[in-house]
Amino acid sequence: MSSAQRASSGAKSKVPRADAATRSNQLRPVVGARTAAAMFANARARSDLHRKTNVTTLSRAMAKLGIELSRDEYPLSRPGVDGPEFLLNTPLQHAYSEYARRSRISLQAFVELVRDQTASDYRPNKNLVPEALNELCKDYKHLKHLQKIVREGVEVRLKERLPQ
């Protein structure tokens, strides 16, 4: 029975279910395109500023021990036969290793230096802003746990104590 026949016979018409193709057209975006672009630009600027601050902090700490932190932008990947080959920044690895050897810094202090953690801002991932997450993830079931990770990082519990 067609919908026209149902309507003329007085039978209840069923509302057709939206399939995946039509449903996506009916959803409204979480934020508008301009708002999303502004949020992305702000996040990029904040990330770039944090990266520059971190590089400056690391450069100064390393310079005190006569280690030069490479200023060149090291490529993240290079073209490969099967797609991009991702690269490790070996000059940075060598500089970090040399700094750790010369300074005899503890692992915890070294990680805090690399992450640019301070007593006033201990968050290991500075790109995650708690206030932005509250707004963008307000309906997320585990938002409280995500906020804790942003504030405190992830705690690793070892089965055995590390050798001294």
> Which pLDDT tens digit goes with each residue over 24-77?
566 655 667 788 788 888 888 888 887 888 888 889 999 999 998 877 788 888
- Has residue 54 been placed in a domain? yes
Residue 115 lies in a domain: yes
Query: What are 86's strand-pairing partners?
Result: 77
Task: Report whether pLDDT(8) > 90.
Answer: no
In a domain, 60, yes or no: yes
Are residue 84 and residue 64 in the same domain, yes or no? yes
Query: 118 and 130 in one domain?
Result: no
| Residues 148, 100 share a domain | no
- Secondary structure (DSSP) of 6-56: HHHHTPPPPPPPP-HHHHHHHSPPSS-HHHHHHHHHHHHHHHHHHHHHHHH
Would you say residue 162 lies in a domain?
no
Indicate if 103 and 74 belong to the same structural domain.
yes
Residues 116 and 96 both lie in one domain? yes
- 106 versus 154: which is more confidently predicted? 106
Say yes or no: 116 and 129 in one domain. Answer: no
Q: Between 20 and 39, whose confidence is greater?
A: 39
Same domain for 96 and 54, yes or no, is yes
Q: Tell me the C-alpha to C-alpha distance, in Å, between residue 106 and each of 27, 29, 132.
A: 52, 47, 33
The answer to whether residues 135 and 61 belong to one domain is no
Task: Report yes or no on 80 lying in a domain.
Answer: yes
* Rg value, the chain, Cα: 26
Q: Does residue 12 fall inside a structural domain?
A: no
Residues 64 and 104 in one domain: yes
If asked whether residues 51 and 67 sit together in one domain, one would say yes
Element (H, E) at 80: strand 77-80
Q: What is the pLDDT of residues 82-137, one digit of tens each?
A: 999 998 888 889 999 999 999 999 988 888 888 777 777 666 666 677 777 787 78
- Kindly tell me if the per-residue pLDDT of 144 is higher than 70: yes
Residue 67 lies in a domain: yes
What domain range includes position 142? Answer: 124-157
Do residues 60 and 103 both lie within one domain? yes
Same domain, 83 and 149: no
Number of structural domains in the chain = 2
